[in-house]
Chain A
Amino acid sequence: MAAAASACGGAGCRPQCSASAGGEGDAPAESMGRLSISAAAATCGKCDGGGAAVAVAGGVGMCADCFRAHLFGKFKLAVTSNAMVRPTDAVLLAFSGGPASRVALQFIHEMQSKAIQSWETSNSQALPAFRLGVAFVDESVLSVRPGHEIDMAIEDIKSILSSLSPGDKQLHVAPLEDVISSGSDDKAARLKELVGVINDETGRDDFIRCLRMLSLQKIALENGYTKIMLGTCASGIACHVLSATVKGQGYALPADVQYVDTRWEVPVVLPLHDCLAQELNLLCELYSLKTQQLLNRPCSGINGLVASFVSRLREENPSREHTILRTAQKLKPFSFNKFSANGYHDFLPSRLRPKFQNIDANESTFSEILCLICGSPFSESELQNLENTKHKAQKKIDLYTAHCCQSCHFQILPAATDMHGHFFSLLPKFWTEKVDTASASHSSVRDQIADYLLDEDDEN
């Protein structure tokens, strides 16, 4: 999700890190845990060059340039081997200001400028370069931070973008409250009310995460972007694996841990899937890539507990996050976790095309039913519940409720069922409309005869 980028790059390991990184000389080494910058280690294990070597989790010392190349290699491999970016694509990068999204911006910019270069030098014989835009979701409506800090952060982002050339990168700043369906009334107040209805701390955290994704989708749709790129990294995914397990979302989990996620209207890609948050922090440190620690969104509730658990595991064994990720990747992904549209691979280099040829045509449209709020695919028991409700549902509210996964049901929906109507009326229309269209055929019949039906609640 959009927030996962900040969950690792920002909040995931933050409580300990930001506390220790107090501006002293050895702060970076301390904050990186085992990844330390040690001037003592003489040579780089890769290029035998001099300079300060970086100890990577594996133990091989690397110089800063090799370290950067190592991470860029992982990024590029993820992008090319999963066909994340086509030459005709317009990519929207979700930028939170944390190290992960900062590195993603840097790397995707490099790929873009290379493409532009070859387009220009080859006299338009090569493939065209993709378009790149940057989105920043402004959540000041929900935070207590003074507005001028946000403004300053946005200025910073603008200056970062202007320093990246060639290639124009448009910046889209969207306040989170924009996801609330347009109307004359105060969106910010409605959003605050909506979030206030949710009692569970973890639920609120997850709900804001879903809103953030909705906001990104909205920006992408309105501005003609065809891909959304997130800075979610391995550490963030490892946290998500555990927190999803703890929330009982074991069935839906594999949907969130893949490189590609096409269940949204604009597909989402995760090119930093294999990089650890520490590595990204270190890279920002080494190359003085400016990050926005001010905008950190600390996670709370269960997500916070999981983040501190993972950071404790990391101290005990630095490769634990990779192990967790590997476990999750052994689970069966969903059909929407890969690109399969017709003609999609026309622009791929021919040597990669065979990789994507053997896609079953039947799978091209996925049939999973997704949770109204968080988009988790339904497990069997949830499907059963939905089927049962569909048959006897009298009101739209019941149908909406049945379209929420069990986890959202518990932690996001209000406990009192009579509050559900109010809650769903506040929700962004984008979500409830999906259910409306899905049940349109069913309800239109009902609407035709609605005048003749007596309301059960009507005692008169």
Chain B
Amino acid sequence: MDGPGAEGARLPPARAGSRLCVRCGERKAALKRPKTLEQICRECFYIVFEDEIHQTIVENSLFKAGERVAIGASGGKDSTVLAHVLSELNCHHNYGLDLFLLSVDEGITGYRDDSLETVKRNEIQYGLPLKIASYKDLYGWTMDNIVKAIGLKNNCTFCGVFRRQALDRGAALLKADKIVTGHSADDIAETVLLNILRGDIARLSRCTFITTGEDGPIPRCKPFKYTYEKEIVIYPVYEISYIFISFFTTPTLFKIENGLIWLYHDPGIYSPNAYRGFAREFIKDLERMRPRAILDIIKSGENFRISTTRRMPEQGTCERCGYISSQKLCKACVLLDGLNRGLPKLGIGRTKAGAGAESDGKQRTKRSERNTSSLQGKHGNFDF
């Protein structure tokens, strides 16, 4: 059993005389489930995979009948599989949901085009309507224009901050009741670890919630909370075709082998904080050693004894747009303000804290910048 995790991601050809599926006991086992290392057949894999997500949805009562649900679709594997599974489950189990795909177009020539193509293909394939929220519509600026204004340095700040809000703003525009995202168990485990590494107790207490922002108008939920990334990769091998594209801040190298797409993350380019890359690698190593470690990390995250009396940083709302913010104005509004006033450097780095920001805003701004890559589901409170 060397490297069970790595083995598990490959679909071994069914050999004559090989073992039977442990679940149905009839068909030949076709793969080792990454989550449990059980040898099961292809049919059973699809059944358990979808069943577990259904159980997660039912047990946590993620949806109510008649809700309008936006699926955050990037064109990557997670969101593509999420769209597929949700539309299947919606039909099978009569959730009665009005599903649609919501994509964000940053307006970068040549970057989103391919992934948006994928999403468009998904639209046709699953019969889910696709809505595209572009930076142009939401903020009045495309990333290309922003780059023209600010140059090649620091533009990640804009894109990151704007993207965080784009889904919420887009969903609000399209009158969605809920947003679902394709965050997998691996992602959540990684966030738990990162929050421990950076001492962020407030986020540590929130990051394992399956639904965030329930007090806001558009809660976000993660139906893949207990779903392993490796299984998400296995799932579409025969079912769906998709193009592999990830955010440009997180360049993903991939190769296609044995009908599977293999991923590499280069921790060096992945993030300015190298420890995020370390954490990701660490989780992969752990999974290889003990597959259930990912679920155990999530369990730890849920069970941490975080004192309710401990003072948490307050979460206010932005005076201008109503988005969640610790300052008077949210980061996006500060940046937008700078752009519109022709001072694009406003709100970046250690320079002036920016109009409307509090005097101690500098440090907080810096901190929030560092955390922009966090998984934390933020919700909107829009008043459009």
Contact = CB atoms under 8 A, between A and B. Distances in A.
B292 interface: yes
Interface stretch (B135-143, B159-167, B197-205, B343-351): B197-205
A249 B301 CA distance: 9
A251 B305 contact: yes
Interface in B299-313: 299-307, 310
Chain A CB within 10 Å, residue with most, of B193, B282, B302: B282
Nearest to B288: A305
A324 interface: yes
A57 to B, nearest CB: 16
Chain B CB within 10 Å, residue with most, of A200, A246, A302, A320: A246
Nearest to B208: A250
B296 interface: yes
Contacts of B355: none
Nearest to B192: A245
Contacts of B278: 309, 312-313, 316
28 contacts: A241-B196, A242-B196, A244-B300, A245-B196, A246-B293, A246-B297, A247-B296, A248-B296, A248-B300, A250-B303, A251-B305, A302-B289, A302-B293, A305-B285, A309-B278, A320-B197, A323-B197, A327-B197, A327-B199, A327-B201, A330-B199, A330-B306, A330-B310, A331-B201, A331-B304, A331-B307, A407-B296, A410-B292
Interface of A: 200, 202, 241-242, 244-251, 253-254, 301-302, 305, 309, 312-313, 316-317, 320, 323-324, 326-328, 330-332, 379, 407, 410
A302 B305 CA distance: 23
Nearest to B290: A302
Interface in B81-131: none
A244 B300 CA distance: 8
The 10 closest A-B pairs by CB, nearest first: A250-B300, A248-B296, A251-B303, A332-B305, A250-B303, A245-B300, A330-B201, A248-B299, A327-B199, A332-B307
Contact of A248 (B197, B285, B297): B297
A323 B199 contact: yes
Chain B CB within 10 Å, residue with most, of A249, A324, A330: A330
Nearest to A248: B296
A433 B196 CA distance: 37
A379 B300 CA distance: 10
A245 B304 CA distance: 9
Given A245-B193, A320-B275, A250 B199 contact: no
Given A244-B300, A250-B300, A302-B293, 5 more contacts: A202-B290, A254-B305, A324-B199, A331-B201, A410-B292
Given A245-B192, A245-B193, A323-B198, A305 B306 contact: no
A253 B300 contact: yes
Contacts, number: 94
Contacts of B58: none
Interface of B: 192-193, 195-201, 204, 274-275, 278, 282, 285-286, 289-290, 292-293, 295-297, 299-307, 310
Contacts of A407: 296
Contacts of B201: 327, 330-331
A302 B286 contact: yes
A326 B297 CA distance: 19
Grouping DSSP codes into helix (H, G, I), strand (E, B) and loop, the A interface class, with mixed when no group exceeds half, is helix
Contacts of A326: 199
Contacts of A241: 196
Contacts of A317: 275
A324 B296 contact: no
Nearest to A305: B285
A323 B201 CA distance: 11
Chain B CB within 10 Å, residue with most, of A247, A248, A250, A309: A250
A287 to B, nearest CB: 32
A241 B295 CA distance: 17
A326 B310 CA distance: 14
A245 B297 contact: yes
A459 to B, nearest CB: 27
Contacts of A302: 286, 289-290, 293
A391 B204 CA distance: 36
Given A202-B290, A245-B196, A331 B303 contact: no
A251 B197 contact: no
Contacts of B300: 244-251, 253
A331 B295 CA distance: 20
Nearest to A330: B201
Chain A CB within 10 Å, residue with most, of B289, B293, B303: B303
Nearest to B302: A250
Contacts of B302: 250
Contact of A250 (B286, B293, B304, B310): B304
B203 to A, nearest CB: 11
A313 B276 CA distance: 10
Contacts of B307: 330-332
A327 B194 CA distance: 11
B204 A246 contact: no
A202 B285 CA distance: 14
Chain B CB within 10 Å, residue with most, of A245, A309, A326, A332: A245
Contacts of A242: 193, 196
A241 B297 CA distance: 11
Nearest to B273: A316
A385 to B, nearest CB: 14
Nearest to A325: B199
Contacts of B192: 245
Contacts of B282: 305, 309
Nearest to A200: B290
Contacts of A379: 303
Contact of B197 (A247, A324, A410): A324
A312 B200 CA distance: 20
A217 B131 CA distance: 66
Contacts of A245: 192-193, 196, 296-297, 300-301
A139 B303 CA distance: 35
Contact of A246 (B286, B303, B305): B286
Contact of A327 (B204, B275, B285, B293): B204
Nearest to A331: B305
Nearest to A377: B305
Contacts of A249: 300
A324 B196 contact: yes
Contacts of B196: 241-242, 245, 324, 327-328
A316 B275 contact: yes
Contacts of A328: 196
A326 B301 CA distance: 16
Nearest to A328: B196
Contacts of A332: 305-307
Contact of B289 (A250, A251, A305): A305
A132 to B, nearest CB: 34
A331 B198 CA distance: 14
Chain B CB within 10 Å, residue with most, of A244, A251, A309, A320: A309
A51 B15 CA distance: 72
Nearest to A249: B300
A323 B199 CA distance: 6
Nearest to B295: A248
